[in-house]
Amino acid sequence: MKTQRRAGAAAAALLLGGAGVLLAPSTAQAAVIDVQYDCKTPIGDKSAVSPIDIKGVKEGDGYKLTMSFQKGVSSSPIQLGAGAMTPSAVIVVDGAEKTSVPVTGPANAEPIPANTPIKISDLSGTYTPKKSGKVTFTAGVLTIKAMGTTTTCTPGNNPKPSLELDVTAPGGTTGGTTGSTTTGGTTGGSTTGGSTTGGSTTGSTTTGGSTTGGSTSGGSTTGGSTTGGSTTGGSTAGGSTTGGSGGQTDFPGKAVDVTYDCGAVVPGGIKTPVTISAKKNGGDYALTVKTAKGAMASPMQLPAGALKPSMDIKLGGADSGTVKVTGPANAEPIPNGAPVSLTDMTGTYKPGKSGKVTLTPDQLTIDVTMAPGSTPINVPCKATASGVSLELDTTAQPGGSGSTTAGGSSAAASGGLAETGAQDDGGIKALALVAGTVILLGGAVFTFTPWRRLRGTR
């Protein structure tokens, strides 16, 4: 039986999800029952309704029970990796015997694309009766583990049994008696896997004073001409600010407002100031990219290592391509309500062409990992409006190219860089909203998206 029913829910909708089900014996009486699940999630209590079907098949001394969700969860706004979601539940047994049966299902074998309905696999387990007679089977507590979070959902509408069987205990005969019974374990209270909270860090870069290697005048002439002024080490850079080793080494950029489209993850997009600065290192440039710091409070607890940003820097003018910069993940847990910031991102630009080159913030990506070893969620945000933050006068380097590998998380460009835009309101909203999405998806059965509450105003 795969009857579909529509059921209202305040915060979520469960879509078609049940796979093939096993046939029950002819003595069974089965029905699809609407179950209202009251869930304890990391962002608060949520409720949703799903029609539940339970089937039973005699296997040896016991019965194989299969619990199917006639509707699955709503579509995820971002991709879920393979193995990211694992469901389990408890089936409550009543009648001739009172007990409970745990049922489990496999994790999702394939990635779940964004905006694709999430299907919960059938949950199965074995019931071995200790007494003969008529027993009923009712949906109990549902547990979803996803991306390091645990969400527990308890039936709140006192649902009716989905299945009734006339069972035979091993060595006994069916009699349908309802003699005295003991009350075994039923559905326990829901628990939430709260994460520990530590102090948050803002990852601000210290700006050490830059040194200028002034040229020395030997005091003696060299063949009648002096070497006054800074030397270029054999070649000049056309008189630009990127002159030789005695010239400027630190190049602070200006803050430019960038608008990002993150799709369904952040309705309405994100607008944040971004600043690109550079430090000359030989012929290469160590880049540092800053976004707004602590512009909003975290809407939930986030573990250490949960959020890792990266960005593409678009080259223009004499050079072309992109340079990828990356930032380290948050080193400490971020408590609920604490300021949240994207860490500074760094990378190396090796010029492929000589001349004036512009650097413009482009696509922003946030990798979200809610537990060590769990599958990261990749959230890309496309820059729909941006501007030039920095211009450099470059000299082509051997092996130079517009596209370079990303720098590490070290502060390679710590000398004399501008710290503009650090206190402006902006793109850290992406961090909080993405984190919120992950926690919501950590509830896995339901996708709750209170974006209006989380977005606030600029």
CATH number for 129: 2.60.40
Residue 176, domain member (yes or no):
no
Within this chain, do residues 273 and 140 fall inside the same structural domain, yes or no?
no
Within this chain, do residues 263 and 391 fall inside the same structural domain, yes or no?
yes
Q: What would the mean pLDDT of 10-29 be, rounded to a whole number?
A: 36
- pLDDT tens column, 361-398: 999 988 877 667 666 777 788 999 999 999 999 999 88
Give the integer Cα–Cα distance in Å for 382 and 360. 13
* Residue 112 predicted with pLDDT over 60: yes
Q: What would the mean pLDDT of 206-214 be, rounded to a whole number?
A: 37
The one-letter code for the residue type at 33 is: I
Give the integer Cα–Cα distance in Å for 443 and 144. 6
Stated as kind and residue range, the H or E segment containing 55 is strand 44-59
- pLDDT tens column, 175-197: 433 333 333 333 333 333 333 33
Residue 326, domain member (yes or no):
yes
Residue 408, domain member (yes or no):
yes
SS3 225: strand
- pLDDT tens column, 141-161: 998 887 666 778 899 999 999
* Residue 7 predicted with pLDDT over 60: no
Measure CA 221 to chain center: 65
Among 143, 167, 191, the domain-final residue is 167
Within this chain, do residues 280 and 397 fall inside the same structural domain, yes or no?
yes
The range of the structural domain enclosing residue 150 comes to: 14-167
* Residue 35 predicted with pLDDT over 70: yes
Among 138, 167, 196, the domain-final residue is 167
* Residue 238 predicted with pLDDT over 60: no
Q: What is the CA radius of gyration of the chain?
A: 31
Among 110, 138, 167, the domain-final residue is 167
Using alpha carbons, list the distances in angstroms from residue 270 to 137, 264, 312, 420, 432. Answer: 49, 12, 16, 19, 11
Within this chain, do residues 311 and 430 fall inside the same structural domain, yes or no?
yes
Residue 4, domain member (yes or no):
no
* Residue 203 predicted with pLDDT over 90: no
Residue 42: predicted pLDDT: 53
pLDDT top residue among 143 and 298:
143
- pLDDT tens column, 399-420: 776 544 444 333 333 222 222 2
> Any idea which of 119-123, 218-222, 270-274, 329-333 has the lowest mean pLDDT?
218-222
pTM: 0.48
Residue 175, domain member (yes or no):
no
Instruction: Assign 270 a pLDDT band (cuts: 50, 70, 90).
Output: confident
Q: Which of 139, 125, 174 is nearest to 22 (CA)?
A: 125
β-pair partners for 275: 255, 290
Please return the burial class of 88, using the count of CB atoms within 10 Å of its CB with bins 0-12, 13-18 and 19+: middle
Within this chain, do residues 258 and 391 fall inside the same structural domain, yes or no?
yes
Name the domain count of the chain: 2
Give the integer Cα–Cα distance in Å for 129 and 66. 16
Question: Contact at 8 Å (CB) between 278 and 285?
Answer: yes
- pLDDT tens column, 312-326: 999 999 999 999 999
Give the integer Cα–Cα distance in Å for 455 and 433. 7
Residue 58, domain member (yes or no):
yes
Instruction: Assign 232 a pLDDT band (cuts: 50, 70, 90).
Output: very low
Residue 171: predicted pLDDT: 78
Residue 226: predicted pLDDT: 36
β-pair partners for 345: 289
* Residue 110 predicted with pLDDT over 80: yes
HEC-encoded secondary structure of 388-449: CCEEEEECCCCCCCCCECECCCCCCCCECCCCCCCCCCCCHHHHHHHHHHHHHHHCCCCCCC
Residue 211, domain member (yes or no):
no
Q: What would the mean pLDDT of 246-266 be, rounded to a whole number?
A: 83
Residue 109: predicted pLDDT: 86
Residue 67, domain member (yes or no):
yes
Residue 159: predicted pLDDT: 94
Within this chain, do residues 261 and 148 fall inside the same structural domain, yes or no?
no
Within this chain, do residues 296 and 413 fall inside the same structural domain, yes or no?
yes
